[in-house]
Each structure stands twice: as C-alpha cells, then as structure tokens.
Structure 1
C-alpha cells in the first residue's frame, strides 16, 4: 500500500473509531502527567494508541520505501554495469566490473566463463547448483562420462548427447546398445556406427548392416591389414562391393591389400571387381604389373579401347630394359 493512501485510510479509520466510542461514552477522563492535568474525552484516549501505531507505521513504510528506492537505483546501475561487462566480453576484453548488489555476481561470472575469445579461467560461483552445473558441463565437454539421471534431461539435449558420445568413446560396445535402441537420434547413430567401424568385429557390424562410406571402407581395410579386424576374403570383397570408388581409390585399396592377401586371391578379387565396376579396371592392371603378370596385362590392354597412360608407360620402360616399380607412378 502506498504511504499517502495508508495515511488517508488511517485518518478515516481513527476518525470512525473516535465517533463510535464518543457516541457510546460521551465523557471525559482526566490524567495527571508531570503535574499537568490532562482532561480529554474517553474516545480520544481510545484512539491515542491507534494514532501512535499509525505514526510508527508511517515511519516504517517511509524507511523501507526509501530503502527500496535506493536498492532499485543500485539494481538499475548494476544492470548498466552488467551490460557494459557483457559488451566487453563480446569484444574480447578482460572485463572486471564491481557491482553494488549481489544480484549480478553469478550472472557476471557465468558471462565471463562463456567468453568467445578469451579463457578467463574458472568462474567463482557461490551458488552450489550453478557451480555443479558448470563443473558437469566442463567434465562432459572434456570427454568424461558423467551421471545425468538426476537432471532428467531430454534425449535431444546437447549435454545428454555429448555424454552418450563420451560413453561410446570410452567403451565401443556401448555403441551396440545405442544402435539397438530404435528411438536413438541420427547424431548418436552416426557416432555409434563410427565407433563400431573403428573398433567393432565383423560380426558386430553385420548385426546392424550399416551403410558404409568410402572412408569407412578404408578404415576397415587398414584394420584388416593391421590384424585387428578378422574378416574373410569373400567378406572383404562383399564389403568393398557395397560402395562405389573412383579409379584412384580402387588403386589405393589394391596397394593396401597386397601386403595382406596372397597375390592369386587379390588378383581374383579385383578381376571380379572390374567385371562389376569398370572403375576398378586400372587397379586390376596395377596388380598384374606389380605381380609380374605382364603377358596377361598386355592382352587386357590390347582388348580395351581405353588408354592407361601410367601402365603403358611402365610397360614401355620395361620393354626398353628399365624395369620400374609401379608405385613410382601410383
């Protein structure tokens, strides 16, 4: 209630009380105070405590009204200081503003910690919940696996998604449970698929029939060559056949596999590949030359209408007594 309205209502109320008492008891009552005889109506004696209460209430309301005014002015000043701080943070400046109230302390610390340009260190957060949220954010962002159940985050929440990625990275087998969940979003499916490609067995991959990219196939081939991915030659062929490569990519695949697969098997594999995918033909010719099957190589080149400059150059050099490694041209 506003002070003026309280003052007016107090006068009206006290006046009504005085009239009510005076109408029933129209008598005076005398009191001797410090030798002075005070003789006034009883109705006046009744309202004196009310008058005192009203005066004290007015002083109380005035005091806190003035205090609220000062606090409001301080808050407005702090709001301007915070706006300046936020502007300086956006501009990459080291801002250190002093606030007259505590209201903007947490906001200023959080704002400084989110600077897009400078690392201003760990914020000094006094609020326990806010500090816990910040520490959780830092841990998840750094790759740690955290317990988030008590926060009841949605599965679309970016913090939840990153924490799930951290779980997948910490233990690739967790990717199997992620892929088994039909409600998993595309971002986590991609992360789980990549984890299986980089660490899973051929049997684990086969359960989900993933759609491979060119880079996925190269990862699997390199794992196979390094003996940390068990797969049969037929399955290698089937896996490579799922993706279309450029001529140079097929050649790179042949170069990687020739250190792992026996020459006859590898040549047979690329013979099948070139019949299914014309882009694999030059990789097949590369293997024929590399394994010294020159006569067969000549026959195929003669039967093709295309030109294979690198292979033909190698044959030309060989015919003139300069046997050159195929890898110098590929």
Structure 2
C-alpha cells in the first residue's frame, strides 16, 4: 500500500472512531502526569493511541523503504555493471568489475576471465549489446567493419581475435591497406602480416615488391616467381633478384626453384654468373649452380666443379655426369626430378 493512502485511511478510521465515541460519551477525561493536567475529550483519548501507532508505523515504513531503496540502487548499479561485463566479454576483452551485491558477484565474476562466443542472435537485448553482437556477426561472416565509424578503435587490444579477423577482412577488399601493412608490419599481428604478404605477392609485381624485399619470406617470393613468364610484366631483373636473395633465408630447394625460373628469363651467362656468386656465399646454392651447368650442357665445368667437392656429396649429379659422359642425349629431367635434387640418398 502507498504510504499516502495508508495515512489517509488511518486518519479516516481515527476520525470515524473519534466521532462515534464522541456521540456515545462527549465528556472530558482528566489525566495528570508529573503535575501536568491533560483534560481532553474521551474521544481524543481513544484515538490518541491510533495516532501514535500511525506515527511509529510511518517511521518504520520510511526506514525500511529507504533500506529497500538503497538495495534497489545496488541492484541497478550491479545490473549496469553486469551489462558492461557482458559487453567486454562479447568483444573478447574481459575486464575486472566491482559488484555491490554478493548474490551477483559470486557468479558474475566469471565474466572477468571469460569471452562469449555468440552462435546465434538473441532477441530482447538492450540496444548496446544488440549493436555489438550485430557488428561481431558481420566480422565473423567476412565483412569489414569500420571501427572508427563506430567509435570502437580503442576498445580492442592488438591480439584481439575480432580485431585480427576484421583486419583480415579488410585486406581482401582494400588494396591500400595491404600496402599499409607491408610498410609497417610491426604495427600488426603476425596473422595480418602473413595474409597481407600473401595477397601482395599474388597481385603485385617486382617493381613494387622491391622496396619490401626485407619483409618477404621464401614462400611468398617463390609465389611471385611462379607468376614470372606469364602475360604480366613482373619486372624481374638481375638486380632485383640479388636484393631478394640477399635478404631472404633460402634453402637448397629454394635456390633450385629460383634457377628453374630464371633460366627462362636471363641469359645463360647472367644465370651462371649469378649462381656462381650465390654458391660462393651460400653452400645451399651449390645444387642450383650444378643444375644450371647441366641445363646448359657445360659438362667440362660440371666435371671440374665435382672434382673440387667431397666424393660423398652430390651423388645424384655425379651419377648423371657419368651417364652424360657416355650418352649425351640424356637430360637432367630424364633421370632426376628437379624438386628432389637437394635430397641426397
């Protein structure tokens, strides 16, 4: 019952009782307390306890009403805090939260260490949670979301999976962003760096890739080499090739693959000069150099080179050399798979 209605009902009842008593006994009653005389109608003496009870009842109601008000405020604050905790867990950035009520704290504290992965949309949520869930679903579906437009750029840590996925989505549609990552790879996660490099290697030429030679790895360098010889002018030159080879950690198979591409692009003299230098600086390029010597049928050079090496090395090439001495019609590809020349038995 509302306190105003309660007071009105109580006063009305007291008035009715007082009026009834007054009609029955309109006389006064004298009461002396510590020398003080109270001479009041009997009706007043009858309703006086009712009024005192009303006063104490109102005080009681106000006290517990205020206590309930304070508790309600705590519930409201904790509800808002819980809402905030759900928000941060949804974006994979859980944070410690302070709760006033143990009833909520004992369970909600899990959210400070957990992330929420939404499988389906949920109806009936507040606008803030609904908005972030919709954005998350867009990111997961492969769509790029402009976080700056939604004032969310500062919400995510660099290793946040949603931020990484959103950047991966952007790489697929934003050519300028690909180059931005190539220019400043340290500002982005490893996954974004890797994807940007793959896209760049699949789309750009050596003219543009040249300035990012130190950013490349062998895998993506070879991916670009694979495109050489097609309809597009890839811009591969001796100078550019040197820059990449000097900046990359190449294995034996990498050098052989490079030689298999450059033999179609450069002159024999250019190729032999290149790989002679490479094998002098890096022993892993020796097989590639031998591969080119065989390709160009320079058997005398092959013989001299093998004589300078340990007899336990280059077994396949030695076997081929012996066969070529007797049957010059044999070619390298007839006896050895180019991809396996680095695998010594």
- Determine if the TM-score, normalized by the shorter chain, exceeds 0.5: yes
DSSP 3-state at the match of 1:151: coil
TM-score, with length taken from structure 2: 0.58
- Equivalent residue, structure 2, for 1:52: 54
- Equivalent residue, structure 2, for 1:290: 295
- Equivalent residue, structure 1, for 2:24: 36
- Is it true that 1:235 corresponds to 2:222 in the alignment? no
CA distance in 1, matches of 2:301, 2:332: 18
CA distance in 2, matches of 1:180, 1:318: 50
Taking structure 1 as reference, are residues 209 and 254 closer, same or farther at Cα in structure 2, changes over 3 Å only? Answer: closer
Deviations 1:224-263 (A, max 9, x none): 3445533323212331232242323322322344444454
Alignment of 1:150-165 (within 5 A): 150-154=151-155, 156-157=157-158, 158=160, 159-165=162-168
Can you give the 5+ residue segments of structure 2 that lack an aligned partner in the other structure? 1-16, 30-37, 72-107, 110-114
* RMSD, matched Cα: 4.7
Q: Is the 8 A contact 1:136 1:146 kept in 2?
A: yes
DSSP 3-state at the match of 2:19: strand
- Equivalent residue, structure 1, for 2:259: 254
- Cα deviation for residue 140 of structure 1 reads 2.0
DSSP 3-state at the match of 1:275: helix
- Equivalent residue, structure 1, for 2:222: 218
- Is it true that 1:168 corresponds to 2:171 in the alignment? yes
Deviations 1:88-113 (A, max 9, x none): xxxxxxxxxxxxxxxxxx99xxxxx9
CA distance in 1, matches of 2:253, 2:330: 22
Q: Is the 8 A contact 2:256 2:291 kept in 1?
A: yes
Alignment: residue pair count: 265
Taking structure 1 as reference, are residues 237 and 209 closer, same or farther at Cα in structure 2, changes over 3 Å only? Answer: closer
TM-score, with length taken from structure 1: 0.60
Q: Is the 8 A contact 2:279 2:286 kept in 1?
A: yes
DSSP 3-state at the match of 1:287: helix
Q: Is the 8 A contact 1:172 1:199 kept in 2?
A: no
Alignment of 1:42-191 (within 5 A): 48-49=50-51, 51-52=53-54, 54-55=56-57, 58=60, 114=116, 121-124=120-123, 126-149=125-148, 150-154=151-155, 156-157=157-158, 158=160, 159-178=162-181, 184-185=187-188, 187=190
- Cα deviation for residue 145 of structure 1 reads 0.9
Can you give the 5+ residue segments of structure 1 that lack an aligned partner in the other structure? 1-29, 70-105, 108-112
Identify which range, 55-64 or 172-181, moves more after superposition: 55-64
Taking structure 1 as reference, are residues 319 and 202 closer, same or farther at Cα in structure 2, changes over 3 Å only? Answer: closer
CA distance in 2, matches of 1:154, 1:227: 46
Taking structure 1 as reference, are residues 208 and 155 closer, same or farther at Cα in structure 2, changes over 3 Å only? Answer: farther
CA distance in 2, matches of 1:52, 1:178: 76
